Amino acid sequence: MSIGLFYALVGGLLFALGVGGLILRPHLLSKILAFNILGSGAFLVLVGLGQRDGTPDPVPQAMVLTGIVVAVAATALALALARRLLDLSGDMVLPGEKAADEAEAGDQEAAPGDGPRGGA
Amino acid sequence: MSRWLGVSVVLLCTLLALALVGAMLVLPDAPVRLPGEVAQRLGESGVDHAVTAVLLNFRGYDTLLEVAVLLLALLGMLAAGVAPLRPAPFAADPLLVALARTLAPLMVLVAGYLLWAGAFRPGGAFQAGAVLAAAGVLLRLAGFLPAWNAPALHLRVLLAAGFALFLLVAAAGLYFGAMLRYPQPGAGALILAIETGLTLSLGLILAGLFLAGPETPRARGGA
Amino acid sequence: MMTMVFDPASWLILLPLAWATLAFVLGAGRGARLALVGLGAQALLALELARRVRDQGAHAHALGGWPAPLGIELAVDGLAVVMLLMTALVALPLGLYARAYFGAKPKGGAWFWPLSGFLIAALNALFLSADLFNLYVTLELLGLAAVGLTAAAGDRMAVAAALRYLLATLLGSGAYLFGVALIYGTYGTVSLAALAPLISAEPAVLLALALMVIGMLLKTALFPLHFWLPPAHGGAVSPVSALLSALVIKASFYLLLRLWFGVFEPVATVGAAQLIGILGAGAILWGSLLALLQTRLKMLVAYSTVAQVGYLFLVFPLATGVSPEAGVSAWQGGIMQALAHALAKAAMFAAAGAMIVATGRDEIVGLSGVGARLPLTLFTFALAGVTLMGLPPSGGFSAKWLLLMAALDSGQWWWIVVMMLGGLLSAAYVFKVLRQAFLPAPGGSAVGRAPRALELTALALALGGILLGLFGAQPLALLEAGGGR
């Protein structure tokens, strides 16, 4: 297995982890972190799979640079909105996603698809 | 209900991970290979570094839109509303003040180097802009820079200048046959001009994402 | 070489980017006149591009002079041009509406013009792009602009709705980007033209298609992934609601059409298409039912969008694996539904906004007396309702008729039942609003006036929805001339 393919496989795992975290974790910081994890997974696959034969490929590298800047922009906007919500409601949780869900979702963390216990 | 949902999401994500790994392990070789073509056309791109050539020439259109995305994030923050500022929100640590005094000029120097290096080795406008922005954040934390409540006209001009210059070059390309097409001798100079504008504006925008954030009225953490 | 200087496709992207940037520099609350000039020019550019496609057929051009797969190409064909026309012709009246709206009631409008400029640039760029990764960048540009506009209402509900919208849209584009990464890994290119002859049923390609489709379904808010849409579209200020419901959700639907009936056609299966159709049927019934149950006017209109999105997705079962005649009919019906809904929903949100300005509240029970005081606006609401119900001679009728013919031709009668039920339910929720508005105003509560410009621009959009039914052959001919598929 080439190192590129290894990176891509790790990227696949990170993506699944991030998707699970984004859906299940109620705290907004956890959700924003989960988005960054799933994005990083996609970037790893883009670069890793593209150069799995060992020759460096500048095209996916440039795409990932673009993708990182886009992710930074989205993260900044999400954080700003989360802080604004904190100002307005005193809470970093979207209405309808109660803190009780957090304990429940946390129980299943042994499964590999779930997000890490972050942010909150 | 919610527990049931949680279990099924975890299960689906596990299945997704397994499917992704399995699919990637059995991939055949890719029929199209771009590295060769990039290397072949590198001479016409105006720069010597392949990634910079892709970013600012072969796929420069992606980069143009990506700068718009950054500007848009700042706009979205401004639109969501910024809480009124209190004067001097915190007193900075004297050590931090001394550190900021020493580091900020060095960081500007590093940003200049990264911008110049981008033409032939890893570096370029985004890296340089990120370092500039970090200097801005450091200066803000040390209390040298005020937080922005709303950017004033001169600041808005500087924030938009990099993107506006890039947009002008993109439109001027139509004269040479296609949007974003650079004239053959002079592509390198144009790319350097675009990157210089972008470094300045990206540094400001990235710093602005921190500086223009709403001030939390309640005292929290370091406040 | 000089011929490219006036290339309408390039200018459709450059122009809104330019006026958005200028409006940002001008500052908060400024830029309306600039934007309207830009929107007017955009309508002319879109018409000129349509003329070229009609006369010369589809064409592509390489940005930066680098042909694909090294560079990025713009592809101009019938489908793209129809969507560009839709954007231009809906955005111009909405621009006039927004200027009057924020003139009368400036809240939430500080950065409206630069944000909507970037939004329109993103739409145009998305419709023209022929590169999977570039499409990802346009999706993010569109998503962030839409979220910024939603958050601009500034209250707690709007900020929460914007965040929910942002997270949903980021998850959707994240799934799409992962699909792009798998495609690049498999084939070494992301150019649609280069991919078309290569696509085969590799496991990685099927996974990529699944991820991209799910991502786009989430962004188009197809039932049961619609949870983010009603609070965002119902909670934003009215001109924004109209832009989001009329245009933004059409972008991800368009991308799905492009992928499913374009490069991925060899691997798209009838089973998956039926599944998408079932979700569409669920959307029609569930969305209409919830629209009927709403007590707030804009939430009713937002749930109506959830329902109308369902009709769009009937294209997939009706045009996948059927006879060519049924396929063409379904395809035309789907596009017609997108156009009719864009005009009617923009009109309906605009009319709802005018009623809210006049009554000062968003509750449906507060509409008593609107019929006497704002007859023109109520007429607009009813006309838009006619299109949504699918009554002749509206564009909505043509759309549903074409879908119906496709269902008959391909022997899939069950979709007809769903469409009939959906039509009845939409009549019920439209009449719920009309009935309340015709009741006399209770003593003591006065219905104010709405600015004339609000009423007239909303009416123009609603009339557009009706005219589309009468002159629908024009866009369909364009679709054929430019090779939509």
DSSP symbol at C59: E
**Position B56 pLDDT exceeds 90:** yes
Smallest CA-to-CA distance from C298 within C228, C347, C238 is with: C238
Per the rule left: phi > 0, alpha: psi between -120 and 50, beta: everything else, C41 is alpha
Instruction: Render the burial of B192-209: b for 16+ CB within 10 Å, e for the rest.
Output: bebbbbbbbbbbbbbbbb
> Which among B22, B33, B61 has the least Cβ separation from residue C72?
B61
Instruction: Look at B58 and C10 and tell me if their CB atoms are within 8 Å.
Output: no
Q: How many alpha carbons fall within 13 Å on the CB side of residue C181?
A: 36
Report yes or no on A79 lying in a domain: yes
- Within 8 A of A101 by CB-CB distance, chain B residues are 2, 6
The alpha-carbon gap from B109 to the nearest alpha carbon of chain A, in Å, equals: 22
Residues of chain C with pLDDT under 50: 1
Q: Dump pLDDT digits (tens) for C288-307.
A: 999 999 999 999 999 999 99
Question: Residue C342 in contact with residue C468, Cβ under 8 Å?
Answer: no
Residue spans per domain, chain C: 273-480
Instruction: Look at C181 and A42 and tell me if their CB atoms are within 8 Å.
Output: yes
pLDDT at B185: 85
Smallest CA-to-CA distance from C84 within C115, C28, C137, C123 is with: C123
pLDDT at C449: 85
Find the domain containing A75 and state its range. Answer: 3-107
CATH number, residue A56: 1.10.287.3510
pLDDT at C445: 67
For a pLDDT cut of 90, what percent of chain B falls above it?
A: 68
Q: For the residues B66-87, what does the mean pLDDT come to? A: 81
> Which among A52, A63, A112 has the least Cβ separation from residue B14?
A112
Question: Residue C209 in contact with residue C261, Cβ under 8 Å?
Answer: no
pLDDT at A112: 39
ipTM value of the model? 0.94
Give the highest mean pLDDT range of A87-96, B113-122, C144-153: C144-153
B184 token code pair: 């053959």
pLDDT at B150: 77
pLDDT at C35: 97
pLDDT at C339: 97
C43: enclosing H helix or E strand: helix C32-56
CA-CA-CA-CA dihedral for A48, A50, A53, A58, to nearest 10? -100
Label residue A1 by pLDDT band (50, 70, 90): confident
Q: For the residues A83-96, what does the mean pLDDT come to? A: 88
Dist CA A7 CA C314 (whole Å): 40
For a pLDDT cut of 90, what percent of chain A falls above it?
A: 62
Report yes or no on A115 lying in a domain: no
Q: Which residue has the tokens 């990932």?
A: A64
Q: Which of C129, C155, C167 to mutate to test binding with chain A, by most A CBs within 10 Å of its CB?
A: C167
pLDDT at C105: 63
Report yes or no on A112 lying in a domain: no
The Cα-based distances of C37 to C24, C32, C95 in angstroms read 16, 9, 10
Count: domains in chain A: 1
Closest-CA residue of B relative to A18 is: B13
Report yes or no on A114 lying in a domain: no
Residue spans per domain, chain B: 2-211
Q: What residues 13-42 of chain A have any CB closer than 8 A to a CB of chain B?
A: 13, 15-17, 19-20, 23-24
Instruction: Look at B69 and A65 and tell me if their CB atoms are within 8 Å.
Output: no
Q: For the residues B141-169, what does the mean pLDDT come to? A: 89
In whole numbers, what is the pLDDT of chain B averaged over residues?
A: 87
pLDDT at C348: 97
Label residue B119 by pLDDT band (50, 70, 90): confident
- Helix, strand or coil for residue C407? helix
Report yes or no on A119 lying in a domain: no
Peptide bond into A116 cis (omega under 30): no
The alpha-carbon gap from C160 to the nearest alpha carbon of chain A, in Å, equals: 6
- Within 8 A of B3 by CB-CB distance, chain A residues are 104
- Helix, strand or coil for residue C350? helix
pLDDT at B90: 61
**Position B149 pLDDT exceeds 80:** no
pLDDT at C313: 97
pLDDT at C444: 63
Q: What residues 46-85 of chain C have any CB closer than 8 A to a CB of chain B?
A: 61-66, 69-72
Question: Residue C468 in contact with residue C345, Cβ under 8 Å?
Answer: no
Instruction: Look at B30 and C25 and tell me if their CB atoms are within 8 Å.
Output: no
Label residue B21 by pLDDT band (50, 70, 90): very high
